[in-house]
Amino acid sequence: MSTSPRDWSSHPPYVYPDYKSTVLRGPTRPLIPLKHTLSERTGPVYGHDSLGALDNDLTRNGRRNGEPLGERIVVTGRVTDEAGRPVRNTLVEVWQANAAGRYVHKVDQHDAPLDPNFLGGGRCVTDDEGRYRFYSIKPGAYPWGNHHNAWRPNHIHFSLLGPSIATRLVTQMYFPGDPLLDLDPIFQGTPEAARSRLISKFSIDVTEPSFALGYVFDIVLRGASATPMEV
Please give the positions annotated as active site. Answer: 103, 142, 152, 155, 157
Query: At 212, which helix (H) or strand (E)?
Result: strand 212-216
Burial annotation 196-230 (CB, 10 A radius, 16+ → b, else e): ebbbbeeeeebeeeeebbbbebbbbbbbeebbbeb
Distance between CA 200 and CA 195 in Å, rounded? 11
The torsion angle over the Cα atoms of residues 223, 79, 136 and 203, rounded to 10 degrees, is 90
Contact status, residue 218 vs residue 80, Cβ threshold 8 Å? yes
Contact status, residue 212 vs residue 135, Cβ threshold 8 Å? yes
In the DSSP assignment, the letter for residue 57 is: B
Coil, strand or helix at 71: coil
Contact status, residue 160 vs residue 92, Cβ threshold 8 Å? yes
The answer, yes or no, to whether the previous bond of 139 is cis (omega within 30 of 0) is: no
In the DSSP assignment, the letter for residue 64 is: S
User: Kindly report the CA angle at 124 between 226 and 172, in degrees rounded to 5?
Assistant: 40
Phi/psi of residue 221, each to 5°? -100, 125
